Amino acid sequence: MKIVLFGKNGQLGWEFQRMLPILGEVISFDREELDLCDLDAVQKILSELKPNLIINASAYTDVDRAEKETDLAMKINALVPGMMAEMASKLRAVFIHYSTDYVFDGGKGSTYKENDPTHPLNMYGKSKLAGEENIKQAAHAYLILRTSWVYSLRGNSFVNKVLKWSRQNKTLKVVNDQVSSPTWARTLAEITSFVLAQNKMDLYENIHERRGVYHLAGSGFASRYEWAKQILVNDSNPSEQTIQTLEPALSADFPTPAIRPLFSALDCSQFEATFGLQLPGWNSTLQLAMTR
Ligand SMILES: NC(=O)c1ccc[n+]([C@@H]2O[C@H](COP(=O)([O-])OP(=O)(O)OC[C@H]3O[C@@H](n4cnc5c(N)ncnc54)[C@H](OP(=O)(O)O)[C@@H]3O)[C@@H](O)[C@H]2O)c1
């Protein structure tokens, strides 16, 4: 099987690079190798390589900057995935793409199911929802996996930010009114790879039969404050911490350009039932992720 991976240096893309070689030949791209803004170049590469599987781990993920860089966010999150999906159909390739809990407004009051009405509050959410629509129209065999609060132990993730802040401050305030499901990028890559491996025989037919939008995130949910608390508990070098107090705060205390939904945790039972898998709890996964 020939696999093309876009966004190889992102949190998710990096983890995919570890997993995908068990499935076949992997040709992966970062921004330097291929700027996704160049649609012709993306199209040309896919036409030349003729992959059986296209995984899009790339995205415009700066939620606040997307309020200003609307065109760019729309291009990377909606236009480009739509074109990739179109190419996947032409090549009879499976297309795997990721979306977000931010397609919801957070007002439901309980976990979101796939067919709950969408209503993004910010440009990032709007651009990702437009991407979903473009893919649904163009692709034949595709999975759109909506996930939430993705973290890894490399880069500028929330986990690394909390660890850094805990070494610079005595008091740390973290919002307690935003609730979702922290999801380790490695788990996301592993579970996706597992589903692909499970269906490897007749991958195109199998994914075509199960095509659609699924929710895939760490099981359970927490506020950012509760998440930060667990990050400090699982810190492998607690002696380096200067922090004495972790205080709950309100989103209103930290105004940001983009409005975030308050309760956007995802109900992943449809994914679990369809693929016969049980998603691990966000907290036990965090513990594993932070064990050195
Ligand atoms: N992070 C979250 O909390 C979160 C929550 C819900 C859903 N998701 C979704 O999950 C998926 C994976 O997210 P992630 O956290 O792994 O994202 P990430 O770490 O921000 O990685 C995205 C990658 O896309 C690349 N990219 C962006 N614009 C590009 C361009 N013009 N040309 C080439 N590459 C470009 C970035 O390259 P550079 O490194 O060069 O910028 C980066 O490597 C995305 O679909 C995202 O929307 C993420």
Per-residue burial over 40-72, b if 16 or more Cβ lie within 10 Å, else e, is eebeebbeeeebbbbbbbbbbbebebbbebeee
Q: Give the tens place of pLDDT for each residue, 222-246.
A: 999 999 999 999 999 999 999 999 9
Q: In whole numbers, what is the pLDDT of the chain averaged over residues?
A: 96
Question: Within 10 A of 35 (CB to CB), how many other CB atoms are there?
Answer: 12
pLDDT at 292: 75
Length of the chain: 292
Q: What is the pLDDT of residue 155?
A: 83
pLDDT of 166 higher than 90 = yes
Q: Are 271 and 191 in contact (CB under 8 A)?
A: no
**For residue 259, what pLDDT is reported?**
93
Separation of 132 CA from ligand 1 center, angstroms? 15
Residue whose pair of structure tokens reads 């739509």 in the numeric block: 82
Q: Per-residue DSSP letters for 15-82?
A: HHHHHGGGTSEEEEE-TTT--TT-HHHHHHHHHHH--SEEEE------TTGGGT-HHHHHIIIIIHHH
Q: What is the mean pLDDT of residues 82-104?
A: 97
Q: Which residues pair with 99 in a beta bridge?
A: 146
List all residues whose CB is within 6 A of at least one atom of ligand 1: 7, 9-13, 31, 35-37, 57-61, 76, 98, 100, 128, 147-150, 185
Between the CA of 44 and the centroid of ligand 1 the distance, in Å, is 22
pLDDT of residue 289: 95
Question: For residue 184, what pLDDT is reported?
Answer: 97
24-55 tens-digit pLDDT: 999 999 999 999 999 999 999 999 999 999 99
Round to whole Å and give the CA distance between 56 and 262: 27
CB distance 203 to 94 below 8 Å: yes
Residue 213 to residue 113: CA distance in whole angstroms: 10
- What pLDDT score was predicted for residue 67? 97
Out of 12, 75, 158, mutate this one to test ligand 1's pocket (max ligand atoms within 8 Å of CB): namely 12
Q: List, in sequence order, every residue forming a beta bridge with 55; answer none if it has no partner.
A: 5, 96
Judge whether 124 counts as a catalytic residue. yes
Residue nearest to ligand 1 atom 10, measured at CA:
98
Report how far residue 122's alpha carbon sits from residue 251's, in angstroms, rounded to the nearest whole number: 15
- Cα of 245 from ligand 1 centre, angstroms: 32
Integer angstrom CA distances of residue 103 from 63, 179, 219, 271: 12, 15, 19, 18
Average pLDDT over every residue of 57-61: 98
Q: Which of 98, 102, 112, 124 is catalytic?
A: 124
Q: Note whether 130 and 287 are within 8 A (CB).
A: no
The predicted model scores a pTM of 0.96
pLDDT for 114:
98
Q: Where are the alpha helices (DSSP H) in 69-202?
A: 70-74, 80-91, 123-138, 158-166, 185-198
**What distance in angstroms lies between residue 157's CA and the mean position of ligand 1's atoms?**
12
pLDDT at 141 exceeding the cut of 90:
yes
Two structure tokens written together for 263: 């309760």
